[in-house]
Amino acid sequence: MKKLSSILLILIMPFSLMSLIVRHDVPDERFIALGKAYPQVCHLSDGESTLIKENWAVTAAHAAILLNKELENGKTPQVSIDNKKYDVEKVILHPNFQINETSIENDIALIQIKGNITTIPFAKLYDKQNEKGKQITIVGRGDFGTGLTGPQNWDKITRAATNRIDEVHDQWITFNFDHPESENTTELEGVSGPGDSGGPAFIDIDNVRYIVGVSSYQQNNGKEGVYGVTEYYARISYYKEWIEKSIE
C-alpha cells in the first residue's frame, strides 16, 4: 500500500477543488489554451473525471465518494461536461479501494451518466505496459499556482500541462514536477493541485486520445505543488479489465 503525505487529508476534504500548478516561466495563456483541447474532462463537485464511453466516466475513488453518498441519500448529483450539466445514475467504486490517514489503495471509480453524450469524443483506455518515459498531458480546473508558489487561488478556469512519466509501479504511474532548469522538464511542465483528484493523464497516439492515469495523490514533504513533488496517478492499464467488466 502506498504511503501518502499530508496532501491526502486535503484531497479527501469536501471543499477540495483544484486545478494545475505549472512552471513559473511560461505565460498562463498557454496552459489555458491547451486546456480547451480536452473536452473529455468532466467536472465533479469535488474533483474531475474523464469520459471513456458515451455515458461512462472514470475518476478517483476518493473523488467519487461524495457522489456515491448523495445517491444513497436519494439525491441526484451532476457532472459538468463542456459547460452542460448531466445527472449521475450510478457510481462504482473499486471493490478493493481503501483509504486512511496514511495510505491509499485502488483509488479508481466509474461514474455512469444518464443518457448518451454523442457530441464529445471519449478517451480510450490505454492497455500497454510501456508508459515509462512517455510525455503526458494532465487537465484540471480550480486552484492555480506555479512551482515557486504552490496553489494560490481558484479561478474555475480549465488548464492543461505536460509532464513525463518517470516510473510505473503496478497500480501507479508516477512523475515529478521538474524545475525549468532541469533537463527532464517539459515545455508546459505541471502537476495537479490540491483537490484535482480524478483528473486525467492523456497520451495522443496517431490522432487517438488515450487516458493512461487518474490523479490520486502527491508526495510533497509538507509543501504541495512546488518543484520537486511527485505525483501518483492510478494506472489505467492495470485497471482496464476491471473497468470494462464493470461497464458491461
Q: Is the same domain home to 130 and 67?
A: no
Q: Is the same domain home to 103 and 226?
A: no
Q: Is the same domain home to 45 and 62?
A: yes
Q: Is the same domain home to 168 and 229?
A: yes
Counted domains in the chain: 2
What is the rounded distance in angstroms from the CA atom of residue 113 to the CA atom of residue 54?
Answer: 8
Instruction: List CB contacts of 205: < 8 A, sequence separation 6 or more.
Output: none
What is the rounded distance in angstroms from the CA atom of residue 193 to the CA atom of residue 191?
Answer: 7
Q: Is the same domain home to 174 and 203?
A: yes
Q: What is the pLDDT along the chain (248 residues), one digit of tens a residue?
A: 444 443 443 343 332 333 588 999 999 999 999 999 999 999 998 789 999 999 999 999 999 999 999 999 999 999 999 889 999 999 999 999 999 988 899 999 999 999 899 999 999 999 999 999 999 999 998 678 999 999 887 778 899 999 999 999 999 999 999 999 999 999 999 999 876 889 999 999 999 999 999 999 999 888 889 999 999 999 999 999 999 999 98
Q: Is the same domain home to 172 and 81?
A: no
* Residue 222 confidence (pLDDT): 80
Q: Is the same domain home to 25 and 136?
A: yes
What Cα–Cα distance (Å) separates residue 99 from each residue in 61, 108, 219? 9, 12, 15
What pTM does this model have?
0.91
Residue ranges making up the domain that contains 49: 41-120+243-247
Q: Is the same domain home to 68 and 162?
A: no
Q: Is the same domain home to 134 and 14?
A: yes
Q: Is the same domain home to 149 and 181?
A: yes
**For residue range 92-129, what is the model confidence (pLDDT) as tens digits?**
999 999 999 888 999 999 999 998 999 999 999 999 99
Q: Is the same domain home to 45 and 155?
A: no
* Residue 9 confidence (pLDDT): 39
Q: Is the same domain home to 230 and 150?
A: yes
Q: What is the CATH number of the domain that holds 87?
A: 2.40.10.10
